[in-house]
Every structure is written in C-alpha cells, then in structure tokens.
Amino acid sequence: MKKAALFMACALAVTALAGCSSSSSTAETTAAAGGATEAAGGSEGGEVNMIMTWWGNQVRNERTQQALDLYAEQNPGVHIEGQFSEWSDYWNKLATSAAGQAMPDLLQMDYMYVDQYVKSGLLLDLTPYIEDGTLDTSNISENTMASGTVDGGVYAICAGINSPALLYNKTLTDSLGIEIKDNMTMDEFFALSKQIYEQSGVKTNVAYGIGESWSAYFVRGLGFSCFTEDGTGMGGSAEEWVPFFEVYTKGLEEGWLIDPGVFAEISVGSVEQEPLVYGSTPETQSWCAFYNSNQLGAMQNAAPEGMEIGITTWPSYDPVKSNYLKSSQFFSVGATTAYPEEAVKVLDFLTNSSDANNILLGERGVPANSVIAEEITPQLSEQDQEVTRFINEVVTPNCSPIDPPQPDGSNEVYDLLNRTVEQVCYGQLDAQTAANTFYEGAVEIMSAK
Amino acid sequence: MNKKKNLTFKQFLDQEHIAGYIFSLPFTIGFLMFMIVPMGISLYYSFCDYNILTPAVFSGADNYVKMFTDDPTFWQTIGVTFYFALVSVPLRLIFALIVALILLKTTKATGFYRAAYYLPSIIGGSVAVAVLWRRMWATDGVINHLLGAIGIETSFAWLGNTKTAIWMLIILAVWQFGSSMLVFLSSLKQIPASLYEAATVDGANKWQQFWKVTLPLLTPTIFFNLVMQMINGFLAFTQCYIITQGRPMNSTLFYTVYMYQQSFEFYNTGYGAALAWVMLAIISLITLVLFATKKFWVYDGGF
Amino acid sequence: MRAKRTIGKIIYHVLVCGFGLIMIYPLVWMVMSAFKPTNTIFTTAGQLIPETFTVENYINGWKGFAGISFGVFFRNSLFISIVATIGTVLVSSVVAYGLARCKFRGRRILFVAMLLSMMLPAQVLMIPQYLWYQKLGWVGSYKPLIIPYFFAIQGFFVYLMMNFIDGIPRELDEAAKIDGCSYYGIFGRIIFPLITPSLITGCIFSFMWRWDDFLSALLYINESAKYPVSLALKLFSDPGSSSDYGAMFAMASLSILPAVIMFICLQKYLVEGISTSGLKG
C-alpha cells in the first residue's frame, strides 16, 4: 500500500515538476510569443519585444537573423525574435496562430496568400505609415508596390523582385547549335522542343504539377486573366482555356512531352529533383524548367558537373502581355501587433537600409529599392548578377503589371488544374474535354467561396 | 490518529470500485481536460463553414451532404484507404509475428538482429525514406536492375502506374512492421515456460507446440495489434504525404491526406473536420465488428 | 545430429542476416549519402558508396541555424522525450491496472473513450487543441508537449498494458488478497514488476514517437532556440530556393541515434527471465 501510494505521489510530483520547470523557464517566452496580444500588457515603457517569422533555408535564416540583430543593436530596447519554419509548416503555423488571433508582429508573406490574409483582417494597412514617412517607398517602382496592394491599401512590401524564368540546359542547346532567344513565342517553343527531342532525345517538362504561375502567365498572353478582377470568379471561358491544354496534347503527339510517370519518382517543384538536372536518361530529362529568376543559383548548384544553366523568359503567345515582375515574397505587419510603429520601422530598415541589405545580399530576390539594388550588385555572385541583368534588361522593358493577388479558392482551382493536366498527360483527356472539365470545376469552386 | 478511523479509511480505499476510480483517475482527468474540448470544437467545426482565418459560421449538415452527394474525390480516397488498410495490416501482422518467432531465441547476435528489424520503424517518416523509396522503384532504380539481373528486362514505372503505385506504399508499410514485432516479442516471453515443458512431456513437437500453446495464448496480443494497426492503417498519412502526394491521378490519395489538403491547403477547414468525423465513424464501426468477433477466437480476455 | 544442428544454425544466421540487410539498407543509404558532397546526392542516388568522402555535411549541419547549433535541438528533444515518456509509461500502467483488474461503473465508458480518442486524425485536432492550449496560456512553452502525457492521454499505452495485465493469472492477485494485500499493494508489488516487458516496450515506443513528433512542436514552440530535432531537420529544405539535403541527411542520421541506442540497451530486458519468475510470483 505504502509503496503504491508513494508511487502515485511520485507520478504526480513529476507532473507538477514538469509543469514548474517548464513554466519558470518559459515565462518570458509565453509573453513574447503569443505576440502581440499578450505582450501589450507588459512593457509600455522601454522594452519592445517583437516576433518576426519567415520560411527559408539555412542561408536566409542566418542572414535575416543577423540583420535583425543589427537593428536591435542600433535601437536599444528593441528586441526581435526570429522564428523560421519550412514552407508548408510555416503556413500551417501561421494559419493556426491566426485562428487564435496571435499573429506575429512581422512576417514574411506570399503572393498566393496575401489576399486571403488581408480580407480576413489579419494584416496591417501600411498606407498611413507610408504617408507620414515612417516607411519610405520612394525608391520602389509603382508596379512593385501594386503587387502588395489589396483594395487600395498597401499590406505587403516586396522583399525581393523576381520574375518567371525558363531555366534551361545551356550546355545541351549549345552542343546542338541552338540559340535560345528571350521573349520567345509559343510556336518557337514548340519548334524548339521538337527539334531538341529529335536531335538528342531529351524531352520537355511544361511546369508539370506546378501550373499555378504558368497557367496565369499563359492565359495573360491570350488576353484574359485566370481570375476576374474582383477575385470572385474565373476569367475567360472554357473555350478560351483549350489552347492551354493543347500545349500538352501537342507535346504528347509529337513525343517531346516528358512522361508523367517520371514525376511520381521525384518531389515535384523541388529544384534538386527537377528533371532538368536530375534525370539520368534522355527520356527522364527535360531541357528546360519553368521556375523563377531567383532560383537560377540554386538550379546551377543542383546541376551535375559540366552543365551550365541558362535563363530566359517563359514562352507565350504574347510575351509582353504575359510577362511580369513579381515579388518573390513580401514582408508584412500583423494586424494585432502591439507595436505597429516599431514594426513598420523594422520593415523600413529591411527595405531601405544599406547596412541591412549588405547582410541580406538579395537572398530573397533583387531588392525592391532600386538604389539599394544597384548598390549591392557588385557584391553578388555571378549568377545573381546575371539574374539582376535579366530582370533589368530583359523583363522590365517587356512586361505588363501583374494580376491582383490570388483570391480565396485559387489554391483549390490550381490543384484541379494540375490534376487535369495530369489526366491529359496520361492521355485520358483531350484538350477540349480537359478545358471543359477544368473550367466547370473551377467555376463551382469559386462560386462556393 | 485514531487507529480505527484510519483503518476504515483504508478499507474504504480498498474497495474494488473505489480502487478502480482512483487508478483510472489520471486518464479521466486527461480525457476531460485535453481531449473532450478539442474533439467537441472539431465536431462543431464539421457543421460550419470555416476557413481558419475568419470565425466559423454554422452551416448545418452542408459539409456532410456535399461529401456524400457531390465529391467524387471523397469516394475515391475511401476506396484507396480501404484497399491500403485491408491489404497492408494483415501482411504487416503476419510478418511481425513470423519475425518475432524467429528472433525469440536468444543468441549472441539477437540484439543486433532485433535492432536491424526494428530500425525501419524508427526512420519511418523521414525525407530520406521518401527520396530513397522513390529511387528504389524508379524506372532505372534498384528493383528494375535486380529484375534485369534475373532475366526480366524492364523499365516499368512502378510509382508512375496507377495500378501499382499503391503497392509501393503498402510494401513500405509492411516493411515497417517493427512496432508490432516488439509487442509480439514481449508477449511471447510472457507465455509461461512451464506450459511448453508440459507440452513436451505430452510429446508435442515444435509445430504442435506452436498451434496448441503459442498461438492460442498469443491471440489477445494478435487482437490488440490488429485493432491498433487497423486504426493506424485507416489513419495512415505519412507514406502518402511524403512519397506520392496522391500521384498518379489520386490513385494513392489517402483519406487523411485529402482531409489535410481540404483543411490546410484549400482552407475548407469545416469540410476537413467533417471528413475526420466520418472517418471516426468508419473506424469505430470496424473496431466494433472486430470486438464482436473476439469471443470466437481470442483466448480469455478482459474486454 | 550435431552437424545437422550447426548447418541449421548457419542457415538461420545467413537468412536472418540477409533479410536484416534489406531491412537496414535505407538507413545505410542515408548515412552514406550524408558523406557525399551535397550536389551529388541525387545524381548518384543509385550507388551506395560515395566517390569522395566528406564530413562537411556533418559540420555544416551541426552548425544549425542563425547561431543555434544542433546540440541545442538535441538537448530540447531529449528533455521533451524523456520527461514525456516517463509520464506516459508510469501513468499508463496505473490506469491500465485500474481498467484491467477493478470492476467499477463507467469502466466500459472509459475504455470506449480511450479507443475513440485514437480514431480521430491528429491533423484535425490541431486547431482546436491550439485554441484550447492558448486559453490555458500554454502556447510558447513545452507544457502542451509534456503535461498531457502525464494523464495517459495516449490510449495505445493503456491498452497495451491492459493486454499484458490480462495475461497475468488472476490467481496471483487472489493469493495476495488473502495475504492481506490491498489493490494498491497488488499493483505495486505484483503487477508492476510483472509487466516490465510492456513497460520497456512502452518506453521504446513513447520515446520514439515523442522524438519524431514535430506537429505539436511546430504549433506550440515559438522560439527557434527551443525547437526539437524533428522540427529543426525540416529547416534544411526550402522548395522555393535551395535545400541542403546533405546536411539534412547528416543530421537525420544523428537524430536516430538516441532511439537506436535506447533500443539496443533496453531490448534485452524485453525478453529476459520474466517468464519463469512470473508464475513463481
């Protein structure tokens, strides 16, 4: 009896202890971490504790934290805790925190989500801070600012400019004596893919499984937007979507489209496993990959020895109408932050300070502030300089303003799109049926929102 | 203090039902505190139009109606999940039992053998397994090379084919039989040696011993593993999520992964919650059936 | 006869070894890949032995993120996993005894509740649980990762131990009862020592599951320096830019070590000497 009682007591004691030990060591964190809402009560006078969250890899974590530390050093009393997660984890965590009304003070945002977060009232409107000069945007182009603007309010500041970019196996095309020119049209692209396939057996991957930006880009070239201006419905008509699926049926017919089975063996959308650099035989290789300009360096690193990666624009029926500059990601301020003023100052620091950008070195893309961008260019790697040149000389003169941020429901629509393309590639649907199925499904999804 | 009073208190505590309440108190508190509230909230969400970012709005049985009348993917994932669970669970248990029997006898190397067979369960859901598994079954992967070595030249895309892809996930699940094996191992040793001695005296050979002693006495553990693995099988998530993501053409899309997509990728979180509760209903039905069969084949059991 | 035995033994070892190799191949592959230069991991995935050995991945991986080394993550994981495991195993055995041996009203309901709580996918409880822990003020601390386990919240362990207790002859209890032993005494002196194998099994499982769990850490831990290994491992990859698979595999190889060491140390208690002592009581 005694033994048992003792044992029970032990168990309970351990419980209590566990509770205590973790609570004492985490007391401060709880206050800081719940962000905004909880910190508000505590420290009015001097100390400012803020949380900034982002996704990214080792390099980004390192550099961003360094920049934040520098800010804290220059502004005594301000402490910014950096929290980093992996991409999909990041959005899970952010959504969950949003459900608990505990948004971080500062956060990294994506074009894909900004609209939903703004419409749910989770991001702070930066317009007043821009007007009173706390946040200086004078060196940021109008197009770039527009991409973070929803319903007239500025909610997100560009953290780095990039653009869609066709990364290709330059070693292969050079050896075949093919010259890839920028702003190519769809017909040129078809001819090229066919020629490369006939001469080398290497196939073409047309954004399989990652059709989000590609479809939007493609239909812009046909003269309409994927979604309507107000974000409540689908743009175009079923008939107008047919050419999009015809790219794949044409590729199947002519043989240059990569076998969809290949994608079951890789992580789709992962640079390291992209058929451009990963495939071991011509049938599992692609001569190009539909990516973004800021991924050139990563793709080159992932490429086997002796393969040079080139960069050009995505093909389109109307390249100038299709192409656009976008933000690789944004910085935003959480609507519930206790220190809006302070948070915006940090944003200003990350955007306009040359000290900060000398640490960040355009890791997120070409800096939005054109003066800063110019300033850091000499310090960039060869590939990043090439990217800057590509953005400035190739895309900027030949592009149109980007579509409004993707509306609620777009994720589901794009999932449907990718699944429809999959069926087309497996030869189960022709372009006409695919367009009909997709368009009907997409309209239904959008109307349910 | 008063010896008599003390004694009655002791006696009070030592009544069978009071002891039962006291022993099960931690779970009762834990369940009420940590499970019942979240479960309740999620049940409520399943009757709501909810997208995480904005507060939930009650919408009646809409989600359930949509599921059964207007969602072909729902039915497809049900099919995939049943196929996966009903094939992989029995295979996994059979493997686990056979290996446990083999590794029961103790030699110097047994510790390492056991570790080796248990290892796959430890590294279960890591990215490395995902990469490797896809590599192994690739068109130019190890498996096709091995087939080539025994004279079957092929560049079959195991993962790229809608008929075979699910089997790659089943094999992966079977390969990770370690945890069931452990449970078998520990309960095999619980069988009293005296029973085997008695059987030997009666002239039973090893084979007869297995059928007459080992297997009957193991049935409660088999039942336990069966129930647990069935639940796990229907709730399987990782294999699909890290390896196929449902490709090709949703032929490997697990129910839970679909639920996850709805909840966290499409932000139809209310619908996701409804999917979860339907799964709970399915699993509890299956478990109920299993418990109903218990008296026919499980040797002496408490519940 | 003797020769036949030896041959049998050899066959046994060859078979078990051979099959064992297949079982651990992926692990060996991962460890080996971690010694390859990062950019060759995928291109040479077919071959096991690296052409050039490098320990750079280990060095680079151990460095961790933004000044937080992997040592910190390991320490965090060890703390969470060990404390939660102790709680789970001890408390589950207590609850299991109550459910298996004592008859009381509500026993069935508790058992059903336990099973039901296992049948809801963890992913669907993420948000409700978060909201609830937020109400309790636990977000941002290790509490949600530890305290629930001191209330036998994982039915698996309770059920596992119930199954074991059912296997112990009731005569033992009754004999002890006649000797004047209380229910608590029976549990402490007889049942608890006899279910050692299931306690060990429980330790192995619980440690491994707590170690691998990243979902609750993701939701409830806000400070990067408090991340466990499971969460930190994922930070090496970023689909939007580049990923460092070499460092990831290197750290993943290291991260399974605690579970493996624990298994090798504990497995002998799993099966040794319990069976005979059982009946003698």
Element (H, E) at A290: strand A288-292
- Domain range for residue C168? 64-235
The tokens describing C82, both together, are 């060990």
CA atoms A119, A124, A128, A130: torsion sign: negative
Inter-axis angle of helices C196-212 and B178-188, nearest 10: 170
* DSSP string covering C6-30: HHHHHHHHHHHHHHHHHHHHHHHHH
* CATH number of the domain encompassing residue A437: 3.40.190.10
Contact criterion met (CB < 8 Å) for B244 and A264: yes
Question: Quick check: is C153 in a domain?
Answer: yes
Pair C73, C226: CB distance under 8 Å: no
Model confidence band, residue B16 (pLDDT cutoffs 50, 70, 90): confident
Residue C142 phi/psi, 5° resolution? -80, -5
Contact criterion met (CB < 8 Å) for A93 and C146: no
Strands A106-109 and A48-55: parallel
On whether both A296 and A338 belong to a single domain, the answer is no
On whether both A149 and A261 belong to a single domain, the answer is no
Query: What average pLDDT does the segment B91-103 reach?
Result: 92
Q: ipTM of the assembly? A: 0.88
Q: Which one of 3.30.70.360, 3.40.47.10, 3.40.50.2300, 1.10.3720.10 gives the CATH number of domain B72-297?
A: 1.10.3720.10
**Three-class DSSP category at A227:** strand
C215 close contact with B: CB closer than 8 A: no
Contact criterion met (CB < 8 Å) for A96 and C91: no
- Output the pLDDT for position A24: 36
Percentage of residues in chain A having pLDDT higher than 90: 62
Q: Which residues of B touch A428 (CB under 8 A)?
A: 249
A266 close contact with B: CB closer than 8 A: yes
Query: What average pLDDT does the segment C46-61 reach?
Result: 86
On whether both A332 and A318 belong to a single domain, the answer is no
pLDDT reading at C274 higher than 70: no
On whether both A248 and A199 belong to a single domain, the answer is yes
Percentage of residues in chain C having pLDDT higher than 90: 38
On whether both A268 and A195 belong to a single domain, the answer is yes
Mean pLDDT score across all residues of chain C: 87
B69 close contact with A: CB closer than 8 A: no
Question: Quick check: is C206 in a domain?
Answer: yes
Which residue is closest to B260 within chain A, CA to CA? A92
Pair A196, A172: CB distance under 8 Å: yes
User: Smallest Cβ distance to C224: which of A34, A57, A82?
Assistant: A82
pLDDT in tens, B111-125: 888 888 888 888 777
The model's pTM: 0.89
- Output the pLDDT for position B248: 86
C252 close contact with B: CB closer than 8 A: yes
- Output the pLDDT for position B6: 58
For chain A positions 54-83, those within 8 Å of chain C (CB to CB) are: 55-58, 60-62, 64-66, 81-83
A182 close contact with B: CB closer than 8 A: no
For chain A positions 222-261, those within 8 Å of chain C (CB to CB) are: none
A269 close contact with B: CB closer than 8 A: no
User: What is the amino acid identity at position C220?
Assistant: Y
pLDDT in tens, C82-141: 999 999 999 999 999 999 999 899 999 999 999 998 998 888 898 999 999 999 999 989
Q: What is the 3-state secondary structure (H, E, C) of B65-109?
A: HHHHHCCHHHHHHHHHHHHHHHHHHHHHHHHHHHHHHHCCCCCCC
Question: Quick check: is A14 in a domain?
Answer: no
* CATH number of the domain encompassing residue C113: 1.10.3720.10
Contact criterion met (CB < 8 Å) for C235 and A19: no
Contact criterion met (CB < 8 Å) for C120 and B182: no
Chains within contact range of chain C (3+ C-beta pairs < 8 Å): A, B
Contact criterion met (CB < 8 Å) for C184 and B19: yes
pLDDT reading at B64 higher than 60: yes
On whether both A331 and A427 belong to a single domain, the answer is no
Total domains in the fold of chain A: 2
User: Smallest Cβ distance to B27: which of C46, C110, C205?
Assistant: C110
- Output the pLDDT for position A93: 92
Question: Quick check: is C244 in a domain?
Answer: no
Q: The tokens 């800081």 sit on which residue? A: A32
CA atoms C265, C270, C272, C278: torsion sign: positive
On whether both A222 and A93 belong to a single domain, the answer is no
Does C19 or A2 have the greater pLDDT score? C19
Total domains in the fold of chain C: 1
Contact criterion met (CB < 8 Å) for B23 and C102: yes
Contact criterion met (CB < 8 Å) for A422 and B249: yes
- Output the pLDDT for position B102: 87
A298 close contact with C: CB closer than 8 A: yes
- Output the pLDDT for position C59: 92
- Output the pLDDT for position A45: 54
- Output the pLDDT for position C110: 93
- Domain range for residue A339? 47-162+326-382
Contact criterion met (CB < 8 Å) for C87 and A11: yes
Minimum distance, in Å, between the CA of residue B82 and any CA atom of chain C: 15
Inter-axis angle of helices C257-271 and B178-188, nearest 10: 20
Question: Quick check: is A404 in a domain?
Answer: no
On whether both A72 and A187 belong to a single domain, the answer is no
Question: Quick check: is A360 in a domain?
Answer: yes
Q: How far is CA A372 from CA A360, A377, C274, in A?
A: 11, 9, 73
Distance in angstroms (rounded) separating the CA atoms of residues A394 and A377: 17
Contact criterion met (CB < 8 Å) for B119 and C100: no
User: What is the amino acid identity at position A393?
Assistant: E
Query: What average pLDDT does the segment B165-189 reach?
Result: 89
User: Smallest Cβ distance to A264: which of B140, B160, B265?
Assistant: B160
Contact criterion met (CB < 8 Å) for C238 and A19: no
pLDDT in tens, B227-262: 999 999 999 998 888 888 888 888 999 999 999 999
pLDDT tens, per residue, chain A with 449 residues: 444 444 444 444 444 333 333 333 333 333 334 444 444 444 445 789 999 999 988 889 999 999 999 999 999 999 999 999 989 889 999 999 999 888 999 999 998 899 999 999 999 999 999 999 999 999 998 888 888 888 889 999 999 998 999 999 999 999 999 999 999 999 999 999 999 999 999 999 999 988 889 999 999 999 999 998 888 889 889 999 999 999 999 999 999 999 988 888 888 888 888 899 887 788 889 999 999 998 898 899 888 888 999 999 999 999 999 999 999 899 999 999 999 999 999 999 999 999 999 999 988 989 999 999 999 999 998 888 999 999 999 999 999 988 888 888 899 999 999 999 999 999 999 999 999 999 999 999 998 87
Minimum distance, in Å, between the CA of residue C223 and any CA atom of chain B: 23
On whether both A99 and A144 belong to a single domain, the answer is yes
On whether both A130 and A221 belong to a single domain, the answer is no
pLDDT in tens, B26-57: 999 999 989 999 999 999 999 999 988 888 99
A282 close contact with B: CB closer than 8 A: no
Minimum distance, in Å, between the CA of residue B196 and any CA atom of chain C: 11
pLDDT reading at B193 higher than 90: no
Contact criterion met (CB < 8 Å) for B247 and A267: no
Q: How far is CA C99 from CA A315, C162, C187, in A?
A: 68, 7, 12
On whether both A305 and A439 belong to a single domain, the answer is yes
Q: How far is CA A20 from CA A15, A17, B58, B229, C147, in A?
A: 9, 5, 39, 36, 11
Distance in angstroms (rounded) separating the CA atoms of residues B302 and C113: 17
Q: Which residues of C touch A294 (CB under 8 A)?
A: 241
Residue B32 phi/psi, 5° resolution? -65, -35
Contact criterion met (CB < 8 Å) for A265 and B51: no
Distance in angstroms (rounded) separating the CA atoms of residues A441 and A433: 12
Interface test mutation site (partner A, options C102, C243, C244, C248, max chain A beta carbons within 10 A): C243
Q: Which residues of A touch C39 (CB under 8 A)?
A: 301-304
pLDDT in tens, C175-214: 998 988 899 999 998 899 888 888 998 999 999 999 988 8
Question: Quick check: is A403 in a domain?
Answer: no
